[in-house]
Every structure is written in C-alpha cells, then in structure tokens.
Chains A and B, each alone.
Chain A
C-alpha cells in the first residue's frame, strides 16, 4: 500500500522543472510555481527582518519580498555576479523572489528518473525536498518551495498579524 502511494507520489512528481544552481549543487523548482525569471535588480532593504530576507524589489509596479536562498539554506553568503538571478515564485498566492547563483534551464524529468528523498536518520527537517531527480550522471534536488519558504515565513506572518492585532 505504502509503496503504491509512494510510487504514485513519485509519478505525480514527473514534469517540467526550472533548474538553478546554488554553490555547486543543482536544484529544481516545479515550473508551475515559477512566475518569472529576472536578472539582478536593485533591492531595497527592510529593517527588522530575518537575515535571509534581503528586502523588497519593485517588479513592474509590484513590491515583492526577496529571500536569499543561500542564507535560507544556511550556506555562506556569496557576492552577486552577472549570472545571479531572482526567480519570482508563487507561494500560496503570494509572490516572492528568491536569489539564486545561476539559472540553468527548463527540464522535463520523467517519473522513472525521480526518486524519493533518502532517509538521513533524522528526517524532520527535509520535508521541503520533494525528491531527487537524476539528470545524466548528476542529481538535481527537487524543492517544494512552498515548504522551504512557508515553515518560517508563515510563522513570521502570524507573528506580524498578532503584533498588529495587539
């Protein structure tokens, strides 16, 4: 039963992914979660926000918060280059920008090339990983961006809402 569930889940994962690079690793985003891809823009810093929240950008009149995914993933911070891009994603109807080192391509990954994320013994923190996509000899980590951003973001939003209510 579980196996079939897992298989169906994995088969559901087959589809198009936008792949990007952080440090030496390749990550994949569900294409439908992506709004658009932009080059590096001017970022307006917002005070009293977490360190990984870089600030907000003005995207054709819309103000969108931007998160540095390196900081979010507690990697070392890197200088922004010409290749650095901001990917605008749709998280439960909220548009947010994530800063990645580079954008690679839009890939169609078939189901048989996707595997469930392996158990690392302690798996309470890797629920934001959908699975591991095998592209050639490389492995692309497929991210559930909603979970990546939500766990903290929603909490923070709730906190903000509580603060406003008080």
Chain B
C-alpha cells in the first residue's frame, strides 16, 4: 500500500509522523513540568511560609519564655517589657499563621495548631498577669517587713540606749551591785532580742537570696522565743516608757511575723505560677515546634515528590527522545528507501532505455550505411545483370540449335543400340552351341579316362603276373610297364583336355552372362537415347521460354533500377533520422545522469557515456556514407573497404542481407 503512494504523500506521511511524535513528546514534557510546577507552587506558597511562620512562632515563644522566666526570677521590669514586646511579635506571627491556615488548603494541621497556640499564649498571658500581681504583693510584704524591722530596731535601740544611760548613771551614782546586775540583765535581754531579730531578718534575707522558703519557715520559730524574751524583759522592766518600748517592739515583731508569713504564702504561690508558666510555655513551644516539623516534613515530602516527578519526567523524556530518534531514523530510512527505490528502478530502466536507444541508433545508422552501400552495389550489379542477360539470350539461342542437333544424334544412337542388341542375340546363340559341343567333348574325354584307368589296372596286373613268372616274365614286365606308362599319359592327357574343356565351358558361361549384360546395357542405351531425345526437345522448348523470360527480366531490371534509387534516398533519410535519434539518446543520457546525481546513485553513468562515444563514431561514418552516390558504384566499393576499416563490427553480414 505504502509502495503505491505518491512521492508527495510519502514525504508528507514521514513529516506528519515526525510532527506527531514531537507533539506527543512536547505534550508529555509540558504535562510533567506542570505537575512539578504545581508541586513547587505548593511548596513556595504554603509549606515554606508555614515553616517560616512556625519557626518565628517558636522563636518568639521561646523568647517570651526566656524573658518571662527572667522576670519571674528577678522581678525586673526590663525583662517584663521585653517579654511583652515578644508577646506582641508572637501574636502578630500567630495571626499570620491563622491567615495562612485559612488560605492554604493543604495545611490541615496548621489551623488547629495555631488555635491551640493562641489559647496557650492567652493562658500564659494570664499567668504572667497573676505573677505580676503576686510580685506586687510580695513587694508590699517586703516593705512591711522592712518597716516592721525598722520599728523593731528603733524601739530596741531606744530601750538599749536608755538602759545604757541608766546604767552609766548608776555606775556613777555608785549603786549596789544588785542594781547593776539588774541593769545588766536588762541590757543583755534587750541585746538578745536585738540578736534574735537580726537572726530572723538574716534568715529571711538568706531565704530570699537563696530562694529557699524553708529557711524562712524555720525562722518563724524564732518568734516564739522572741515572745518569751519579751515576757522576761517586761517582768524586770519597771519604767513606763521602757515598757512602752517593749510593747512597740512586740507589735513590730508581730507585724514582721505577719508580713513574713504573707510573703511566704505569696512566694510559694509565685513559685507555683512559675512552674505553671513553664509548663504552658513548654507546651506552646512544643506545639510550635510540632507545627514547624510538620511543615518541614511536608516540605520534604513535597520536595521528594517533585524530585520523583522530575526524575520520572526526565526518564520519560529520555525514553521518548530515544523512541522518537529510533522511529525517526527508521521512518527516514524507510521513506528514503521507498522514495529512492522506485526512482533508482526508473533510472535503471531509463539508462537501459537510453542505452538501447543509442545502440538502436547505431544499428539504424550502420543499417542505413549498409543500405546506401547496398544500393550502389545493387546498381553495379544491375549493370552486370544487364550484360549477363544479353549473354544469356545469345546462349539460349545457341542452346536451342544444339538441342536440335542433339535430337538427331540421339536418334542415330538409338538405331545403333538396336543393331547391337540383335548382334548380341546371335552371339549368345553361338556361345550356347560352343557349350553344347564342349559338353559332348567332355563325355568323350571321360570315356578316354576310364579306358586309361582300366589300362593302368591291366598293366599293373600284367606286372604282377610278370613278377610271378620270375625271370621268364621280365620282358613282359617291361612291356607291362610301358603299357602302364601309356595308360598314365593318356589319363594325364584326358585330364588336361577335361580341364581345358571345363575352362572353355566356364568361359562360354561367362560369355553368355556378359552377353546378357551387354544386351541389357544396349537396351538401356537405346532407352537413354530416346529419353535424351525427349529431354532435348524439352530443352529446346525451355530455351524458347527462357528467351521470353529474359525479356521480362529486362523490364524487371529497369524497375529494380528505380527501386534502387529510391532505396538510396531512403537510406539518406534514415541516416539523418539515426543521427537525430542518437543526439536525442545523448540528451536522454544527460538527463538520466542528472537524475542519478539527484538521487545519489553513481552506477550506470560510465556505461551511458561509453555508449555515447560508440554511436558518435557511427554517426561520423554515416555522414561519409551519405556522400556516396549511385553513379559511383566502384568508388563506393572502395569506400566500403574504408568503412570496414573504420567500423569495428561486422558489415559483411548485414551487407549480405541486402
């Protein structure tokens, strides 16, 4: 199906498939990119801000906690202010978080976490406020403590100073040692009171300084001792102002005690609050941290997802690219093949066609040359033919005369043969006679032979008889011997004669057969001469007909002359046509060469150019051939010789066809 498509359709198909492949690849890439982009947007707009906010929240939460802890420990206003500033920041960041939680759809955990954080912050705030309240109370208590202690110490010192003055007066007055003793007891008592007060205060300060409420609690026990000391001193004290001083001191001591107890209560409450604050703060921190970590892990997840998506996209792209390359290469190869294949085939057939055309042009050219040459030779041959025909007509006449004479001769030969046959009949009769007489002679000879044999036997018998006779028969024996000799000679002569007769009989037989053959031959001769007679008559008739035929041949030769002339003209025309054909074949070859160059196939070029050269040489010869005219028959013969030298291939064969 694809093979039969048009060239344009094939190319369009190739480009279309390439475009489709690249569009698919691009679409795939864009889709992957979009996915990654969405992930990145999520990351940039939701997770990263979340992490940022959560980190800030955590930072400020920890700041708040730090400052507030500092404040809780030192009751320094600076820490408090700083903590409050952090609170503001924290609130603003939490507000941002809640805003983000509203807008971001993916951050499911953020909303509740922020709410919890907010409530934690609120709790913390209230705790801080309580702490501030307690701190105020504690400050008041401290002040109370200080005033009470001041009162206490003032009264005690006044009492001590009065006692010391009185003592000095007594000493100067020279009072009794008992009185002095009393005074000294009073001084010692007040000193004890002062000491215990100092110890209590020291314990109180120490407890605060060391943040150890137990020390203060232990100091509470001093107040009972103090009461006892007061009671002892009151007993020995008589002066009214001194008593008042002791009472005042006592009141101050009680005041101190009250304040100290309150302080203790408040302190413990403050410590408890501190613990609570720390707890809430820890919770806040933890939740902030959790949120931040959740955001972080989400970020990580998304980053991982986008990394996976990106790597998948890149692998898909690589795979797609390789596939596209392979398909593109295959398509390019296939389409190029499918385009160049048919063109190559066309080029091959074109080359073959042009070669064939060129060779055909060469053949036509040579054929027209041969035709021209043939025409001239024909003309010459026609002249020769004319003269030959004249000779022929005279010969035909002579033939007729000779035929007549031959008829006469044949008739006489027939007669002679007949005579010979008769003579042969006579001769065979004579030979038969000879044979008969020979047979008779042979019989006679046989008789002679028998006689000779008998004579021989007789002679032998005589010899035997003579031998028997002994000496007397000697002469007889000689006679018998002679007789026997004679008998033998006659037998020999008879044998010779018999042989001779047999020979002559054989010869006679031979003669008879020869005679028969001769008679047959003579008959054949007679018959042959009759046939000769008939044939000669036929020859004479044929000669007359030949004479008529020769006239007809004469007119035919005239017509042939005309045909030859028109042949020559046709040969010229076909030569020019062959020239044109060869030039067109050359042009065709050039075009085929261009087509081959276009397709990129170099095979077959050489052949075409070779062919070109071939028919060029033919053309040159054909031009020379055209100059030959019919009247110059002999020169044309010469030229044919030259042409044979020029044209390498066979002209004889083609000439013979003309």
Which A positions have Cβ atoms within 8 angstroms of B? 16, 18, 31-32, 34-39, 82-83, 85, 103, 105-106
**In residues 553-604 of chain B, which contact A (Cβ within 8 Å)?**
none
Confirm or deny: B500 has a beta carbon within 8 angstroms of a beta carbon on chain A.
no
Residues of B within 8 A of A105 (CB): 460, 484
Residues of A within 8 A of B456 (CB): 103
Q: Once the chains bind, are B467 and A31 in contact (CB under 8 Å)? A: yes
Q: Shortest distance in angstroms between A143's beta carbon and chain B's nearest beta carbon?
A: 16
* Total B residues in contact with A, Cβ cutoff 8 Å: 14
Q: Once the chains bind, are A39 and B468 in contact (CB under 8 Å)? A: no
Q: Shortest distance in angstroms between B477's beta carbon and chain A's nearest beta carbon?
A: 8
Residues of B within 8 A of A39 (CB): 453-454, 457
Q: Once the chains bind, are A37 and B468 in contact (CB under 8 Å)? A: no
Docked pose: A34 CA to B464 CA in angstroms: 7
Residues of B within 8 A of A18 (CB): 460, 464
- Given A39-B453, A82-B453, A105-B484, A32–B461 Cβ distance below 8 Å? no
Confirm or deny: B463 has a beta carbon within 8 angstroms of a beta carbon on chain A.
yes
Taking CB as reference atom, which chain B residue is nearest A106?
Answer: B463
Residues of A within 8 A of B457 (CB): 37-39, 85, 103
Residues of A within 8 A of B460 (CB): 18, 37, 103, 105-106
Docked pose: A36 CA to B450 CA in angstroms: 19
Q: Shortest distance in angstroms between A77's beta carbon and chain B's nearest beta carbon?
A: 23
Docked pose: A51 CA to B165 CA in angstroms: 233
Residues of B within 8 A of A85 (CB): 457
Residues of A within 8 A of B463 (CB): 31, 106
Docked pose: A34 CA to B484 CA in angstroms: 18
Top 10 A-B pairs, shortest CB-CB distance: A106-B463, A31-B467, A16-B467, A37-B460, A34-B464, A36-B461, A37-B457, A37-B461, A31-B464, A103-B460
Residues of A within 8 A of B468 (CB): 31-32
Residues of B within 8 A of A34 (CB): 464
Q: Shortest distance in angstroms between B452's beta carbon and chain A's nearest beta carbon?
A: 11
The B contact surface, by secondary structure, is helix
Q: Once the chains bind, are B454 and A32 in contact (CB under 8 Å)? A: no
Residues of B within 8 A of A103 (CB): 456-457, 460
- Known A-B contacts: A38-B457, A105-B484, A106-B464. Give 11 more (CB < 8 A): A16-B467, A31-B467, A32-B468, A37-B461, A82-B450, A82-B453, A83-B453, A85-B457, A103-B457, A106-B463, A106-B477
Q: Shortest distance in angstroms between A27's beta carbon and chain B's nearest beta carbon?
A: 15
Produce 1/0 per residue, B474-499, CB < 8 A to A: 00010001001000000000000000
Produce 1/0 per residue, B445-458, CB < 8 A to A: 00000100110110
Q: Pick from A35, A85, A105 the residue with the most CB of B within 10 Å.
A: A105
Q: Shortest distance in angstroms between A108's beta carbon and chain B's nearest beta carbon?
A: 9
Residues of B within 8 A of A37 (CB): 457, 460-461, 464
Docked pose: A18 CA to B477 CA in angstroms: 13
Q: Pick from B456, B460, B468, B477 the residue with the most CB of A within 10 Å.
A: B460
**In residues 109-152 of chain B, which contact A (Cβ within 8 Å)?**
none
Q: Shortest distance in angstroms between B535's beta carbon and chain A's nearest beta carbon?
A: 63
Residues of B within 8 A of A38 (CB): 457
Docked pose: A119 CA to B180 CA in angstroms: 228
Docked pose: A92 CA to B464 CA in angstroms: 18
Taking CB as reference atom, which chain A residue is nearest B449?
Answer: A82
Q: Once the chains bind, are A106 and B454 in contact (CB under 8 Å)? A: no
Docked pose: A16 CA to B473 CA in angstroms: 13
Q: Shortest distance in angstroms between A79's beta carbon and chain B's nearest beta carbon?
A: 17
Docked pose: A35 CA to B465 CA in angstroms: 8
Q: Shortest distance in angstroms between B472's beta carbon and chain A's nearest beta carbon?
A: 15
Docked pose: A16 CA to B469 CA in angstroms: 13
Taking CB as reference atom, which chain A residue is nearest B463?
Answer: A106
Q: Shortest distance in angstroms between B494's beta carbon and chain A's nearest beta carbon?
A: 12
Q: Once the chains bind, are A36 and B464 in contact (CB under 8 Å)? A: yes
Q: Shortest distance in angstroms between B589's beta carbon and chain A's nearest beta carbon?
A: 104
- Can you list 27 pairs linking A and B with CB atoms under 8 Å apart? A16-B467, A18-B460, A31-B463, A31-B464, A31-B467, A32-B467, A32-B468, A35-B464, A36-B464, A37-B457, A37-B460, A37-B461, A37-B464, A39-B453, A39-B454, A82-B450, A82-B453, A103-B456, A103-B457, A103-B460, A105-B460, A105-B484, A106-B460, A106-B463, A106-B464, A106-B467, A106-B481
Residues of A within 8 A of B464 (CB): 18, 31, 34-37, 106
Docked pose: A125 CA to B454 CA in angstroms: 36
Docked pose: A83 CA to B477 CA in angstroms: 23
Residues of B within 8 A of A106 (CB): 460, 463-464, 467, 477, 481
Q: Shortest distance in angstroms between B461's beta carbon and chain A's nearest beta carbon?
A: 5
Q: Shortest distance in angstroms between B467's beta carbon and chain A's nearest beta carbon?
A: 4
Residues of A within 8 A of B453 (CB): 39, 82-83
Docked pose: A85 CA to B453 CA in angstroms: 11
Q: Shortest distance in angstroms between B447's beta carbon and chain A's nearest beta carbon?
A: 12
Residues of B within 8 A of A35 (CB): 464
Residues of B within 8 A of A83 (CB): 453
Residues of A within 8 A of B450 (CB): 82
Docked pose: A158 CA to B155 CA in angstroms: 232
Taking CB as reference atom, which chain B residue is nearest A85?
Answer: B457
Docked pose: A67 CA to B467 CA in angstroms: 25
Residues of B within 8 A of A31 (CB): 463-464, 467-468
Residues of A within 8 A of B454 (CB): 39
Produce 1/0 per residue, B507-523, CB < 8 A to A: 00000000000000000
Residues of A within 8 A of B481 (CB): 106
Docked pose: A36 CA to B453 CA in angstroms: 15
Docked pose: A40 CA to B484 CA in angstroms: 19
Docked pose: A8 CA to B525 CA in angstroms: 85
Residues of A within 8 A of B461 (CB): 36-37
Docked pose: A38 CA to B454 CA in angstroms: 9
Produce 1/0 per residue, B416-460, CB < 8 A to A: 000000000000000000000000000000000010011011001
